[in-house]
Structure 1
């Protein structure tokens, strides 16, 4: 990550999930003076958004405001942040309650994304914006220097197929559930199925868009499932 904390207690707080503090409290330990990472997560969300926006202004000279906003959203969404967190092996360092840890919390996208934002917030609090921006450059630099428009053209159908093949040795199928509206303004609703289980639904102005929306929902669902889930 490229940053050394002056106050390591801030890093520890950034890595501490609410479940760990609540567990201490329920066991009779006074937890009032033991903060968890949600305040740093709140701060880190804002710092990350600003740092990414500044870099996009520099690197995306030919892009209009709407495109810049979509690219930023693609970079800082839960799935993308979890991917970055995994490159740091962040899950291994999260301080979780026993229940959260046993349920696969160290691999859950939401906890990884929140933890990464909290760490960025802690860097800002400890070293200022320049330090936080430097960390963001390290974590997101390769992506930012690549094809930015590719970030908003993600093929979730391919991503879902790769994921289901890896986890379940199966490929999903798609079914059109509904087709409404006149020819010039149709709306399609599609569901994605793995075996006999429905994984997600999506709608769009074409079957392709609806299928992508369904695949995105399914991909997010499967990515957030902890270990030990039954195979569909």
Structure 2
């Protein structure tokens, strides 16, 4: 277990090390813009690192299953590949976060950005659902076929790797939508505090908040579906 943990860490560090080299010490008189840029950079590093570590851990387990004779080698290769994939997905999520709405945007811009991101997330969800159905079909086909347990393990490991990619993309989209949801709820609460009376602007904002809530809920259902399939492969 200790050896496997070291291999996972190595895979994650291989992905995130280059980002750490670009870090520079803060100056005491750094202005607000520089502080904001540093905060964004820190958040990107954290998001990418989290993705890399998660990907490395999952990749190590899959690699160890595939290379049964030399589990250490399989885990190392899996950790490196999983860490790279996780880091790339983490970077993709952070890119979307940096394009997200801010409290300085006008209400129309906030709603327009949220709607565009929500529609993109739902399109992604639909594409991921097709991938899930393909995975389930291949698993069912293997279960009906008379093959050795070792071959079944290889097939399951391959499908599990596909599921990990789908799960990571799904989780990333949920995270981005929750960021948007938080921004819109904050804006709505501020508008209510300023003027409790109903207005067309509040109605439009509340409508988008409800739509975001529904989208997040549907993606959570897909997340549960993924977890159930992965559990059956263990």
TM-score bracket, shorter-length normalisation: 0.3 to 0.5
- Greater fraction of residues in strand: 1
- Greater fraction of residues in helix: 2
TM-score by length of 1: 0.32
TM-score by length of 2: 0.32
Larger Rg: 2
